[in-house]
Amino acid sequence: MSTQPAAELATTYASLQKDVGGQVFKLNPAASTVRIYAFRGGRAAKFGHNHVLSAPDFVGYFHLVQQGAAASRFDLEFRLDQLVFDEPEHRAALGPAFASAISVEDRASTRNNMLGNNNFQAARFPMVRIRSLQITGDAPKFAARIAVEMHGQTCEMWAPLNVTGLTEDVAVQGALVLRQSDFGVKPFSLLGGLLAVQDEIVVEFKLLGKGL
């Protein structure tokens, strides 16, 4: 993870805790999971594979204030070029739709196809940023209006969150559905669309953090 986003977020949340009060939690990548699911498509989809990607490293914070959800905030940032593709143990946990074995060579090819210049352009746009704009609800169930920054574009959407702990620890669970085309990304396809990746991808996360 680049030190610049990490330092900027650390400074932002230190200021929030000082100026606004409340509790700031720093999210821990080693104890958390971020999974991204991409689905096979095209006329010959049955010959393709679904894919599971993971983000082993990220920077994230959650700020809880006494005034309630409306005044709280969270941020999460990770790098596309650090994503891990199709780890066997991740696929095995997902059942028949992800049960096919993918060789190391095919994993590398999928990575090059999805992150290369014809798709997500990770070398040019490495960062994904998710930040809350509005939070409503009461623990443990919340709705968050979020901004997702990716591939030089920003899209806003609502997402459900399940948040527990909120004393010394915090656990945040949620999911998003992103359309690649909404971010100016053309989903990967081969042989005139005979094999393809569907436009919609699913992002699931379980984030664990400690209070600062």
**Per-residue pLDDT averaged across 169-187, rounded?**
95
| CATH for 21 | 2.40.128.110
Band the pLDDT of 7: cuts 50, 70, 90.
confident
What span, in angstroms and rounded, lies between the C-alpha atoms of 84 and 105?
A: 14
Element (H, E) at 16: helix 3-19
Closest CA to 65 of 123, 35, 125, 25: 25
Per the structure, the complete domain to which residue 103 belongs is given by: 3-211
For residue 191, the model assigns a pLDDT of 73
What span, in angstroms and rounded, lies between the C-alpha atoms of 163 and 170?
A: 7
> Which residues make Cβ contacts (< 8 Å) with residue 140, sequence separation at least 6?
162, 163, 164
pLDDT single digits (tens) 111-134 = 999 999 989 999 999 999 999 999
CB 79 within 8 A of CB 108: no
For residue 3, the model assigns a pLDDT of 53
What span, in angstroms and rounded, lies between the C-alpha atoms of 180 and 77?
A: 18
Token pair of 62, please? 């959650």
Long-range contacts of the stretch 197-200 (C-beta < 8 A, 24+): 197/38, 197/39, 197/40, 197/41, 197/51, 197/114, 198/38, 198/39, 198/40, 198/41, 200/39
Burial class of 129 by CB neighbour count within 10 A (0 to 12, 13 to 18, 19+): middle
Least confident of 31-35, 147-151, 167-171: 167-171
pLDDT single digits (tens) 80-119 = 999 999 999 999 999 999 988 899 999 999 999 999 998 9
Give the DSSP letter string of 102-128: --HHHHHHHHHHHHSTTTT-TTTS-EE
Phi-psi region for residue 95, left (φ > 0), alpha (ψ -120 to 50) or beta?
Answer: left
Count structural domains, the chain.
1
